[in-house]
Amino acid sequence: MQEKTGAGAVASALTLEEKASLLCGQGAWKTVGVERLGVPSIVLTDGPHGVRLQDPNAGGSAFDINASLPATCFPTAAALGSSWDVDLLARIGEALGAESRAAGVSVLLGPGVNIKRSPLCGRNFEYLSEDPLLGGHLGAALVRGVQSTGVGTSVKHFAANNQETERMRISAEVDERTLREIYLAAFEHIVTTAKPRTVMAAYNKINGVHAAQNPWLLTQVLRDQWGFDGLVVSDWGAVLDPVSAVAAGLDLEMPSTNGFSAQRLVQAVGDGRLDEAAIDRAVVRLLELIEWTAAGREPAAAPDLDVHHALARQAAAESAVLLKNDDAILPLDPDADAAVAVIGEFARTPRYQGAGSSRVTPTRLDNALDALRDAAGEKLRLSFSPGFLLSGDEEPQLVSEAVAAAEAADVAVLFLGLPEGVESEGHDRDDIDLPAVQVRLLEAVARVNRNVVVVLANGGVVEVAGWHRHARAVLEGWLGGQAGGSAIADLLFGRVNPSGRLAETIPLRLADNPSYLNFPGGEGTVTYGERVYVGYRYYDTVDAPVAYPFGHGLSYTSFAYSDLDIRVDGSGDDVVVRVRFTLTNSGPVAGKEVAQVYVGDTASSVDRPARELKAFTKVALAAGESAQVELALYARDFSYFSTAHDGWVLEPGEFVIHVGASSRDLRLSAPVTVDAPEPVAPLTDESTVAQWLADPAGGPALRASLDRIPGSGLGDPAILRMVESLPLTRLAALSGGHVDIDDIRRQLAQTSAQGL
Ligand code: GLC
């Protein structure tokens, strides 16, 4: 491989044993150093929404995820994904990078960009979206932000790690088109546009082959097709066979296996099962990573944690989604002469992050109750009732206290959500329901007070259809990070106008989700039977009712879309479709709108989702202000992945462009025609006679060969028409061998050589 730095020279000075040891971690969070050659050991640690660095003085296990040094806990990915704000994510990445540097971390393990295939996935709190374009663009922004500080990232978990159930051995059975269009697409965008320094290979298998030792995934796709030149690190404990892993393209196994893997690598080279060049290749990549991250190990100004906390607060506010707001009950007036009953333990004890390897020890923790009290004017009377036990156990006394408080108040604000442990790395959920004790509390409160506002704290979506009629407003706060409590107060009192949009559909019922019958699989496999129809791609194609659609989110103002103008420049692979429109803040206060562009293919030779998100932008507008928006679409935005063509195919013809405020709230639409050469599938022996005859080179070759078969009549167009749907192999078999495929191939080679 072309050496980019002195890494090759250093590698050549290493013994095989030293090289093999470099490919296997040191302890839980470090790489092996080679002091005699000045190769330092570097630290890799989680991520993704805060630096989780093991406290060296905590003693105990290196995997004690609760013993980490304080760091800013930003909103988790489920929240950040709902911000739809690329610039914000880049700024958060910069802050994460600064804190990583200060902690001596060279690679921050994140972002997690796995697609939210099922709402049940225990780690959906840690992932960005059900849509790969949104996840890819936001993930790329995080990568750029972190890496701008000289700290590397590790986009994860590559790939198709969409459940926690049996995550270390389950095989995700996914057709290639679905992989390419859905489960690899976010990784592809991030790798090709943001160049993460590492990619983390997932625990699971893909079509029977472990991701961490999958040559198709780690070399053919990631490196040969996408041009990735960084390092592939395993998820922790994901390597089954280090020899197969290195041969497949894995470079670093984590954590350490105390020399066992290194020994197996040396042995495999010794007995010819592994080419030492594969080890050298991985060593060079590790040395290049160490070299690339050297700048991040230089002393730098200590990060301002107050500034980071403020950024976390802004991010949480930008990520919250106002699902409903009947009669504009929100925002509340903090200076009103009124009584507000704050109900729910989550107001006092915030649920602000997920469980597992991403768990951060926050530098500070805001709760909504204190934040509301701090922001309330003198005349606003706030009461607090916990309302329920986080354990989920019934506590009638708490309910009656809460109901009494609600009855005495003008407005009741209920803080509900998923208790710790319901959703976590390592296990999936069994349902998407709010705890029954919380729903019963809401019903009891709604019986005595019609002005009910619900604030949610959850990472994976929760079912709302059974209870949201009891609330006039529902604000989805997700897991808002250490400043989430203050952000909620900012939103409730209107100091910030909600601008989050759903990055995942909220279904009416779990059973409506397209993966429902194929989750979490069993007996070692999970079949992605819904194919590309994930999330809104399914709901919108079958026009299924949902509780709240992908892209949905209300504001305290309103937005109007007008003057759609679509310009097409070029054709085929060079086509550029410019989508222009006017966006106006038609309401009373400043706000931010997320304008979304969806593309539908009105006529295609394969089934395709009704529409797919292909561009978006978040625009801040003062009341009454208008802006001209232009978003560009390219060939890939109109293409689908074809296994028959073994690549992306842009079929010429008519498409429809939708511009809107969600996948269902389509404000402007227009047809557009894209010109492109008719795609021609590569001819194979399984191609039909018709496909062969239609091919510019294959047709003459086939005819030349058939014409030489005496008495076959196959030169007769009428006869040929009768057999045109036969694969060539069947024609050869039926002809008793007179149709000679080898001869046809020779003819094709001659025809092609003649440039026909
Ligand atoms: C965990 C997670 C991965 C994390 C790694 C190190 O099992 O799957 O996201 O980065 O191991 O903690």
Pocket of ligand 1 contains residue 127 by CB under 6 Å = no
> How many Å lie between the centroid of ligand 1 and the Cα of residue 435?
28
Residue 648's pLDDT is what?
98
Q: For ligand 1, atom 7, which residue shows the shortest CA distance?
A: 236
Residue 60's pLDDT is what?
75
What SS3 state is found at 711? coil
Q: For ligand 1, atom 5, which residue shows the shortest CA distance?
A: 236
Which residue shows structure tokens 């989680």?
46
> How many Å lie between the centroid of ligand 1 and the Cα of residue 236?
6
Distance CA 695, CA 747 (A): 13
> How many Å lie between the centroid of ligand 1 and the Cα of residue 238?
10
Residue of 46, 85, 235, 601 with catalytic role:
235
- How much is the average pLDDT of 122-144? 98
Q: Which atom of ligand 1 is nearest to the CA of 167?
A: 8
- Is the confidence at residue 128, as pLDDT, over 50? yes
Pocket of ligand 1 contains residue 235 by CB under 6 Å = yes
- Is the confidence at residue 4, as pLDDT, over 60? no
Pocket of ligand 1 contains residue 188 by CB under 6 Å = no
* 3-state SS record for 555-574: CCCCEEEEEEEEEEECCHHH
The residue to mutate among 165, 203, 425, 428, having the most atoms of ligand 1 within 8 angstroms of its beta carbon, is 425
Q: With contact defined as beta carbons under 8 Å apart, do 528 and 173 qualify? A: yes
Q: For ligand 1, atom 3, which residue shows the shortest CA distance?
A: 235
Residue 1's pLDDT is what?
47
Q: Per-residue pLDDT tens for 335-390? A: 999 999 999 999 999 999 999 999 999 999 999 999 999 999 999 999 999 999 99
Tell me the percentage of the chain whose pLDDT exceeds 70.
99
> How many Å lie between the centroid of ligand 1 and the Cα of residue 48?
10
Q: For ligand 1, atom 6, which residue shows the shortest CA distance?
A: 236
Pocket of ligand 1 contains residue 504 by CB under 6 Å = no
- Is the confidence at residue 689, as pLDDT, over 80? yes
Contacts of residue 667, Cβ cutoff 8 Å, sequence gap at least 6: 560, 561, 659, 660, 661
What letter does residue 592 receive in the DSSP assignment?
Answer: E
What SS3 state is found at 657? strand
> How many Å lie between the centroid of ligand 1 and the Cα of residue 206?
18
Q: Where are the beta strands (DSSP E) in 159-308?
A: 171-173, 198-201, 205-206, 209-210, 231-234
- Is the confidence at residue 701, as pLDDT, over 90? no
- Is the confidence at residue 3, as pLDDT, over 70? no
Token pair for 354: 């997920």
Pocket of ligand 1 contains residue 486 by CB under 6 Å = no
Cis peptide before 609 (omega within 30 of 0): no
Q: Which atom of ligand 1 is nearest to the CA of 47?
A: 10
- Is the confidence at residue 2, as pLDDT, over 70? no
Q: Per-residue pLDDT tens for 498-531? A: 999 999 999 999 999 999 999 999 999 999 999 9
> How many Å lie between the centroid of ligand 1 and the Cα of residue 514?
27
Q: For ligand 1, atom 12, which residue shows the shortest CA distance?
A: 357
> How many Å lie between the centroid of ligand 1 and the Cα of residue 439?
34
The residue to mutate among 51, 164, 357, having the most atoms of ligand 1 within 8 angstroms of its beta carbon, is 357
Average pLDDT taken over every residue of the chain:
95
Q: Per-residue pLDDT tens for 597-655? A: 999 999 999 999 999 999 999 999 999 999 999 999 999 999 999 999 999 999 999 99
The residue to mutate among 109, 153, 428, having the most atoms of ligand 1 within 8 angstroms of its beta carbon, is 109
> How many Å lie between the centroid of ligand 1 and the Cα of residue 488?
30
Which residue shows structure tokens 């059974």?
466
> How many Å lie between the centroid of ligand 1 and the Cα of residue 357?
6
DSSP line for 135-175: HHHHHHHHHHHHHTTT-EEEEEEETT----TTTTT-EEE--
Within a 13 Å sphere around the CA of 225, how many CA atoms are in the beta-carbon half? 17
- Is the confidence at residue 217, as pLDDT, over 90? yes
Q: For ligand 1, atom 4, which residue shows the shortest CA distance?
A: 357
- How much is the average pLDDT of 692-712? 83
Q: Which atom of ligand 1 is nearest to the CA of 126?
A: 9
- Is the confidence at residue 756, as pLDDT, over 70? no
Q: With contact defined as beta carbons under 8 Å apart, do 199 and 190 qualify? A: no
Task: Report which of 167, 188, 183, 66 is spatially closest to residue 123, judged by C-alpha positions.
Answer: 167
Distance CA 144, CA 434 (A): 36
- How much is the average pLDDT of 537-559? 98
Pocket of ligand 1 contains residue 236 by CB under 6 Å = yes
Residue 536's pLDDT is what?
99
Residue 753's pLDDT is what?
75
Q: Which atom of ligand 1 is nearest to the CA of 203?
A: 8
> How many Å lie between the centroid of ligand 1 and the Cα of residue 169?
15
CA 7 to chain centre: 33
Pocket of ligand 1 contains residue 357 by CB under 6 Å = yes
Distance CA 91, CA 689 (A): 57
Q: For ligand 1, atom 11, which residue shows the shortest CA distance?
A: 236
- The band of 62, judged by pLDDT with boundaries at 50, 70 and 90, is confident
235 as an active site residue: the answer is yes
- Is the confidence at residue 5, as pLDDT, over 70? no
Q: For ligand 1, atom 8, which residue shows the shortest CA distance?
A: 235
Q: Which atom of ligand 1 is nearest to the CA of 63?
A: 12
Q: Per-residue pLDDT tens for 366-377? A: 999 999 999 999
Task: Report which of 693, 683, 746, 682 is spatially closest to residue 722, judged by C-alpha positions.
Answer: 693
Pocket of ligand 1 contains residue 197 by CB under 6 Å = no
